[in-house]
Structure formats: structure tokens, C-alpha cells
Amino acid sequence: MKKEEIKELQKHYVLQSWSKQKGLDPIPVEQAEGIYFYDYDGNRYSDMSSQLVNMNLGFGNRDIIEAIKEQAEKFCFIGPSYAAESRSKLAKMIVDLLPDNFGKIFFTNGGADANENAVKIAKMYTGRFKVFSRYRSYHGSSYGAGNLTGEPRGLTLQPGIPGFVKFFDPYIYRESIAFESEEKASEYYLAKLREQIIYEGAGNVAAIVVETITGSNGVIIPPKGYMPGLRKLCDEFGILLICDEVMAGWGRTGKMFAFENFGIKPDIVTFAKGVTCGYVQLGGVAVSKEIASYFDDHVLSCGLTYSGHPLACAAGVACVNYYSKANILENVNRCGKVLGQILESLKEKHPCVGDVRYIGLFSSIELVKDKETKEPVVPYGKDPEGIMPKIVGMLKAKRFMTYSHENMIFVSPPLIITEEQLREEMVKMDEVLTEVDKMLD
């Protein structure tokens, strides 16, 4: 097919997510390799967001491709009630990577249904019906995961499901209180959460669900003491702590799982994205040994036709092996230091950059009209003049491909990126931010 035919068929027959359909102009992609993809005219684009922060190992990874082919030659699918080598092997590999309190995996198709099933498991296990999650969070857009979500993409699901309760995450940059330290900020936020739990009836709360590091709402990193304090709070009231590692997991932060940065052990971990890096869709729910043993004598009322799809699990086995084989965590930490230095220099240089937040190769640039007042480039939940799409379009013109949310631009490249590639691409970001400075002046 020719590029124009591909584009027209896409526009005519495909509903594109999170978009008004009129005026869309998708790039027909012909091939991809490493951190780059190419259109039919041979133009090279740099994938500086790992697509949807899922292509951690980039395009064209031969280990993953060969594993998929090998599994396809055996069989592509067998139902979840049968034992398949790739499914069994991947489950053990994931449990072995997690803390010693973990026992079993329930496989899903992706992140949203991982979070939905995690909530179901928590409610079945505890016999409680309330679930806490945060504003400025994204846990998926299906009905259950969308009720966990605490930002505008969850509003279309309202009125919501009873029992879903929201609280604020520690977003120090936007807080009106000037805290003495990160520890003091954590004390404040945790005290407010504890009060809210009591007011909601602590005995009714099954779980607290958090993105270990808030992803699409700005890479908001918990202040010192927050995650251990949250673990302690859950223990106090017999509440399960569920860490959503869909975006932050699988090496993105320089640790295999983001919660490892904070020295805690969750009760449940949800994952997707980087477990197969998009080669075949897969997600899952990892549960503690205690929760796993509960279902020895109680029915696990969860089920999916494609739970633990053999092709996906084969991709997962190869993917997880590759993280170790290629020393991916070492590269993330090395290049992450470089990215942090570049981001700090951009913050110092550009009036439009209010804040930068980064850990490993997971980062965001928060844009403001005024550094002193911290007035955002666009108001929360609105962009009537289309300012952010214009800025993303300026990056796109330089073949720097990423996305924005609210007043933030994300830089989360594939974990295989080299220092040379990173520096080359961030020059483009510098150039665009210079133009944004002028635009806002």
C-alpha cells in the first residue's frame, strides 16, 4: 500500500483515542529500529516517549522477535486453564524479581484490566468495599480503572461507582504550603490521608491504589518518607497497598520496579507496558503469598480469555531476560544522570520552564507563564487556544516525538538510548523551549 492510502484508511475507518477525529494527520510508519522509526519518505523520527512509555527496549529487538516466532511455531494460543511453558516460566521470573513476600501472578491483557482485577482481588480478600486512589492519577480508562483515575480522562465515567474515594498526592511544586523539608511535606500529606481514612470508616477500606511515581500527570516523585509512611498507614488499618507499576516499572526509574527506590513491600503490584515492551500486549497482577494462599480455598472470581496469552508470555520471557542480558538498569542510571543534568540546565535557562522532575529515564518538563507565580501555560483540564499541541508540533517538526498532558512535556526515551543519542535529541528540546520563551513573552 502507498502511504496516502494507508493514511486515508486510518482516518476513515479508525477511531483514534483521546482525539477529535476531524483534522487528524497520522504519520504512516514504514519501519522502525532502536529508538527510531521512519515514514515512507525515509524521514527519521526519534521516539522520545517510548511511544506510550511502553517501548522500553525500542524497536526491532531480535531476542523478543525470535521468541514470538518460536512460540508461534508451537502454538499461538491455549486457554488459561492449561499449563503453557511461556506462561509458567514468566510468572516465576516475575515473582523472583519481586520482594520475598510475593507469591503468584494473575495475567491480564494490559494495565487497565490489571488495575481492575487488582481491585477485585483486594475486595474479595478483605471483604471490604472502599478503594482509595489519588487525584492527578491515571490507572486506565475502562470502567473500573477509570473510576480509580483522578484526572479529566476519568470524568466521562461519572457518576462513578460507589466506594471509590479520592485523595491528593504530594505535589510539592504546586502546594500552597512552604514545607521545611520533604519529610515535613510527607508528614502533612500522610496526616491528611489518615484523617480521611478515619472519616470514610477505616474498616470499610480494602485498598489504597497509587502510581508509585505519578506518570502521565507529571512524573510526580514521592517526597522522602512518603511511601514508607503510606505502608505504615496501610498496616495500621489493615488496608492493602497496591502499587501501580504499569508505567514506572520494568527499569524505567533505574530499578526494576519503582517501589524499590523507597524501600517498601506492597501487597499487590500491577504491571504491563515494559513487561513485553509493546511487542505483544500483556499485563498482570502480582499478589503476596498471603493473598495467594487465601485463594487456595476461595474462588478467584477473575477471568479473561487471553489471560497469560502464550505469545505475549513468550515475548515477556525474552524481554525480562534482555533487561539483564543487556545491563539495561546500568544504562538507565548512567543516561538518567545525563538527562537530569540537561533538564536542570533547561530549567535554569528558560523562563517558560517552571519545574523539571526526573528519575532514571522518566521525566517531565512543567511549563509556566511566570516562574514567580507558577502560573501554568494552560489552566488545569483546559487548553482553549491549543498551546500545548502547538509546542508538541514544534518538537515534531524537529522529529522529536513525544506527548504532553496538561502543562507538561514528557521525556521518557527507550531504555536502550545512548548518551550521544540523548544529547543530540535534547538539543532539539532546548531549541523549541527557546521558541516557547518568545511565544510567551
Contact in structure between 50 and 61 (CB atoms under 8 Å): no
**pLDDT band at 413, cuts 50/70/90?**
very high
Summarize the confidence of residues 58-84 as an average pLDDT. 98
CATH code of the domain occupying 3-57+327-440: 3.90.1150.10
pLDDT at 441 over 90: no
Residues 332-387 pLDDT 10s = 999 999 999 999 999 999 999 999 999 999 999 999 999 999 999 999 999 999 99
Q: Which pLDDT score is estimated for 211?
A: 98
Integer CA distances (angstroms), 300 to 106, 285, 290, in order: 10, 13, 14
Integer CA distances (angstroms), 174 to 292, 326, 374, in order: 40, 38, 8
**pLDDT band at 169, cuts 50/70/90?**
very high
- Fold type of domain 63-325: Aspartate Aminotransferase; domain 2 (3.40.640)
Question: Exposure of 204 by Cβ count < 10 A (0-12 exposed, 13-18 middle, 19+ buried)?
Answer: middle
Residues 2-43 pLDDT 10s = 999 999 999 999 999 999 999 999 999 999 999 999 999 999
**Cα-Cα end-to-end distance for the chain:** 46
Residue pointed to by grid coordinates 486512589 = 133
> Which residues make up the CATH 3.90.1150.10 domain(s) of the chain?
3-57+327-440
Q: How far is CA 330 from the centre of its chain?
A: 20
Summarize the confidence of residues 247-271 as an average pLDDT. 98
Contact in structure between 415 and 322 (CB atoms under 8 Å): no
Q: Which pLDDT score is estimated for 158?
A: 87
> Which residues make up the CATH 3.40.640.10 domain(s) of the chain?
63-325
Q: pTM of this prediction?
A: 0.96
Residues 123-152 pLDDT 10s = 999 999 999 999 999 999 999 999 999 999
Q: Which pLDDT score is estimated for 218?
A: 96
Q: Please tell me the distance from the alpha carbon of residue 197 to that of residue 199, in angstroms, as a whole number.
A: 5
Q: What percentage of the chain carries pLDDT values higher than 90?
A: 98
Q: Which pLDDT score is estimated for 266?
A: 98
Grouping H, G, I as helix, E, B as strand and the rest as coil, residue 163 is: coil
Grouping H, G, I as helix, E, B as strand and the rest as coil, residue 409 is: strand
Instruction: Please give the DSSP secondary-structure letter assigned to residue 34.
Output: B
Contact in structure between 211 and 137 (CB atoms under 8 Å): yes
Q: Which pLDDT score is estimated for 202?
A: 98
Q: Which pLDDT score is estimated for 46?
A: 98
Grouping H, G, I as helix, E, B as strand and the rest as coil, residue 356 is: strand
Q: Kindly report whether the peptide bond that precedes residue 384 is cis, defined as omega within 30 degrees of 0.
A: no
**pLDDT band at 298, cuts 50/70/90?**
very high
Instruction: Please give the DSSP secondary-structure letter assigned to residue 276.
Output: T
Closest CA to 290 of 309, 273, 270, 268: 268
Grouping H, G, I as helix, E, B as strand and the rest as coil, residue 389 is: helix
Average pLDDT, the chain: 97
